[in-house]
Structure 1
Amino acid sequence: MEVRKVNGFFIIFVIGYIGLSVVCASIMAYAQNSGIAVPDWIQYVMSEGIILLIAIIYMIVQKIDPIREIPYKRIGIVDVILSLVAGYCLIPAVLLISNLSMLFSTNYLEEGTTTLLTYPFAMQVILLAVIPPLVEELIFRGIFFGSYRKAGMTGAALMSGLLFGCFHLNINQALYAFVIGIVFAYMVEATGSLWSSVIAHFAVNTYSIGIVQILKMAGMYAQDGSVSETFENAESVAGQSTAITVVQIAMIAVIAAVFMMLAVLCIRTMAKRHGNLEKMKIQNVKLSHIKNYFTAPVIVGIVVCVMYMIMLEFSGTL
């Protein structure tokens, strides 16, 4: 019953998010055309606000008490540190998947955050690394994973990761979001708290803005959000050799594997501390069990997301 409910919510969630985003974008465009200055950061806040609004409406309709039913249990300082370390250990895997997917897709995150990177560092952290984890973890590890969990741990982790990836609505982010979404689910299971995945999500999201801040300090990144001429020349030389690209990807793959093992070690340590290690054993998910997760509404929602991603890629190449 929980699976069917949350699957029905996903299609409403996707269509509602896309529809409200289009409406908000139209309002912002109209305002700008009318001479009203609208700061770029508004769109980031509005995007997360739309997600939160839809989630609140769902919880009200379904009579879900977030304090009682969403696992916001407090975690200790050791769990906070382990969650941060696990999150940062996921970054090489994110880079690997992102680099591979950029062979056939566009990095829309990089394109979309260029202006944002001109803002003060503290504001970047709030907009990209604080607000999104708080909102998105409530949805995907709170509502979706929490609902699917009642039907089994492994299937719940896979489904919540799949929907998390699809919801990013572009191929590049969807692929690595799927992987880290699964890991975030296991972190929640390990600690019994959503705060562990929020902290790990924060760590992953701080990576890009942290690197840009370091490059700015080193004079390799201009204040207007563009790379310096020296850095552009270095990138150009490196990009001329296919062999270098292959070697780089191979090196990232090795590093990603090592750091992923460290992330797993952190999660196992948290699970042992909370007595949840046995609950986290990977189960054999049979085909008959998989069918139980894929009811018509969630299939339609996934198809809508995939079609949107394909259309986005084609529109970007025209």
Structure 2
Amino acid sequence: MQSKESMYKANLKKPKGPIFKANVYFLIIILIQVFGGQLLGPILKKTGFNNGINLSIAHFIFFIIPAIIYIIVTKQSAKKVFRFNKPRIQDILWAFLIGLIAQPVMVFFAVLSSFFFKNDIAQFMQSLDALPYWMMLLIMAVTPAITEEITIRGIVLSGYNQKNKHIAAIMSGILFGIFHLNAQQFLYATALGILFGYMVRVTNSIFVTMVTHFTVNGLQVSMQKFLVPVIQKVSPEKVDATKELTFNMKIAALSSYGVLAIIFGTLLVLIIMKMEKENRKIGIIQPNETKVSRGEYEASFNDGIIELNGNENSYLEYENEKILNIPLVLIIIVYIIIMVLLK
């Protein structure tokens, strides 16, 4: 028979916080990618579609279906979780420009990663060369701009709503790097993920990062489809040289792109600050990042309202929820194991 004290403590036990839930969801998604691919791969091969189309199908099965289940199970508002809010036209234009400006920064981190890991992404891109341009865009730009944004800037980022934008952007960015399950992609995917996290928090709309995500990937696809063949015809040895850079060539590239990364990275920061200033001015996001109404016991954040059923202590608990938890530790362990096995 339970004592009154133990029963009292049990009643005081609070449900797991949003960060814990977001990390659990992300861990499940990682496991689905690893084991689901092994199960679904042979089935998709029997469809007769090419690898690219199969990849798009797998993306929707692995990421969209779980997202729908998550919303149903947690009974949350899909509009609030995914931030399906209409963005300003100016923010859409900024999003497109950010996708262009971010390229040198991404290349810098890609070159930096090449010192430690082999670049197998180029080989995958070449395997899609025979496909029509529109299909390459569908596979490499449209699909991830939807599925990956729904997963990371939707469910995962929403778990960090009670944290300031810096913590939310950094944590969702790191998880975005892990999400790709490729050591060579980790650095630039993390940098891009942090950028995307800021964009969503200062615009309160997932559509802006969908535009930027599409622009980033779409530009890479376009270069692979149109620019590389031209260079190959004019100077074949130049294309070959970029595939296997010597150490000295990598140092030279790192230095050059390092300067560009500083310049364009500064521009990105200025654009994000301008977007935030404009959206605060017209009330899309709140003047203060976190403002608590003690009377109504609800927390107002710069990206929406989180209702806490009149329990002020629940807000304080969520506000102080720790980032490091068991699911996050398991995510890191699983990622390291996968990287070691794939090495």
Helix, strand or coil for the counterpart of 1:64?
Answer: coil
**Which amino acid letter does the alignment assign opposite residue 214 of structure 1?**
F
CA contact (8 A) 1:161 1:182 kept: yes
Distance 1:3 1:73 in 2: 22
Distance 2:245 2:30 in 1: 40
In the TM superposition, what are the counterparts of 1:136-151 in structure 2 within 5 Å? 136-151=148-163
Larger CA deviation: 159-168 vs 40-49: 40-49
The separation in 1 between residues aligned to 2:41 and 2:183, in whole angstroms, is 21
Partner of 2:54: 43
What SS is found at the alignment partner of 2:161?
Answer: helix
Q: Work out whether 1:300 is the aligned partner of 2:305.
A: no
Change (3 A) 1:264 1:68: same
**Quick check: 1:249 aligned with 2:265?**
no
Deviation at 1:70, TM superposition (A): 2.3
- Whether the aligned pair in 1 keeps the contact of 2:27 and 2:330 (CA below 8 Å) is yes
Match of 1:11 in 2: 27
1:286 corresponds to: none
Picking from 104, 116, 120, the partner of 2:132 is 120
Q: CA-to-partner distance for each residue in 1:182-237, whole Å, 9 max, x for gaps?
A: 11010111111111111111121112212123326x6335xxxxxx5x64412456
- Count of aligned residue pairs for this structure pair: 293
Q: Does 1:200 align with 2:212?
A: yes
- Aligned runs of 1:216-295 on 2, under 5 Å? 219-221=230-232, 231-236=235-240, 242-275=247-280, 276=285, 292-295=322-325
Secondary structure of 1:219's partner? Answer: helix
Counterpart Cα distance in 1 of 2:289 and 2:108: 26
Give yes or no for contact 1:101–1:172 (8 Å, CA) kept in 2: yes
Q: Which of residues 22, 27, 37 is equivalent to 2:38?
A: 22
Say whether the 8 Å CA contact 2:82–2:155 is kept in structure 1.
yes
CA deviation map 1:74-95 (0-9, x unaligned): 1222211111111221111111
Specify the SS of the correspondent of 2:322: helix
**Structure 1 pair 143–248 and aligned structure 2 pair: CA distance change class (3 A):** same
Instruction: Give the equivalent residue in structure 2 for 1:106.
Output: 118
Aligned to 1:167: 179
Query: Contact between 2:175 and 2:190, CA under 8 Å: does it hold in 1?
Result: yes
Structure 2 equivalent of residue 285 of structure 1? none
Distance in 2 separating the partners of 1:99 and 1:19 = 30
- Change in Cα spacing, 1:142 to 1:100, as seen in structure 2 (3 Å) is same
Distance apart, 1:296 and its partner CA: 0.7
The 2-side partners of 1:110 and 1:235 are apart by 12
String of CA shifts for 1:80-139, please: whole Å, max 9, x gaps: 111111122111111111111112212232222322232111221121111111111111
RMSD: 2.5
Structure 2 CA distance for aligned equivalents of residues 158 and 185 of structure 1? 7
User: Is 1:57 paired with 2:69?
Assistant: yes
> Deviation at 1:279?
5.3
Point out the more displaced range, 112-121 or 137-146.
Answer: 112-121
- Greater helix share, structure number: 1
Percent identity of paired positions between Structure 1 and Structure 2: 26
Q: Which has the higher contact order (CA 8 A, sep 6+)?
A: 1
- CA positional deviation for 1:295: 0.9
Task: Supply the distance in 1 between the matched residues of 2:249 and 2:289 (Cα, whole angstroms).
Answer: 40
- Please say which of residues 233-242 and 1-10 is displaced more in the overlay: 233-242
Q: Would you say the 8 A contact 2:231–2:239 is kept in 1?
A: no
How much does 1:164 deviate? 0.8
- After superposition, the Cα gap between the structure-2 partners of 1:163 and 1:269, relative to the gap in structure 1 and judged at 3 Å, is same
Alpha-carbon spacing, 1:279–1:309, altered in 2? closer, same or farther (3 Å)? farther
Check 1:109–1:202 CA distance in 2 against 1; reply closer, same or farther (3 A cut).
same
Instruction: Mark the runs of 5 or more structure 2 residues left unpaired by the alignment.
Output: 1-16, 291-318
Which one-letter code corresponds to 1:61 in the other structure?
V
Deviation at 1:277, TM superposition (A): 9.1
Question: For the residues of structure 1 that align with 2:35 and 2:155, how far apart are their CA atoms?
Answer: 21
Is contact 2:110-2:184 (8 Å) kept? yes
Distance 1:185 1:278, change over 3 A: farther
TM-score when normalising by structure 2: 0.78
Amino acid paired to 1:42: I
